[in-house]
Amino acid sequence: MGRPPARARRGEGKVYKRGQLWAVRWTENGERRYSGGYLNEDDANKVRAVIALNLQAGRPGLEPMPIS
C-alpha cells in the first residue's frame, strides 16, 4: 500500500503528471480549476507559480483563453 499524495498548501495549487503530460490544479473561489498539457514538470511549476501570485493579488489564476 503506497503513501497518499502530498497535499498542496492552500492557494498554491498542485503539479501532477497526467499520462505523458503534466498538469496544474488549484482552487479559485471555491471551484476546482485545471490547466494541463505541459511537456515537462518545470513548465507546469512555472505556470503554478504564476497562478499562485495572481491569486494572492486578487486576480484570476489564469486569464481566460479567447475563443477564435
Domains in the chain: boundaries: 14-56
User: Is the confidence at residue 1, as pLDDT, over 70?
Assistant: no
CA atoms of 55 and 27, how far apart (whole Å): 10
pTM for this structure? 0.78
Residues 6+ away with beta carbon under 8 Å from 52: 11, 12, 13, 26
Q: Is the pLDDT of residue 10 over 80?
A: no
Q: What does the CA dihedral 59, 63, 64, 68 come to, rounded to 10 degrees?
A: 150
Identity (one letter) of the amino acid at 36?
G
Q: What pLDDT is stored for residue 12 in this prediction?
A: 77
Convert the pLDDT of each residue in 28-65 to its tens digit: 888 899 999 999 999 999 999 999 999 988 888 887 76
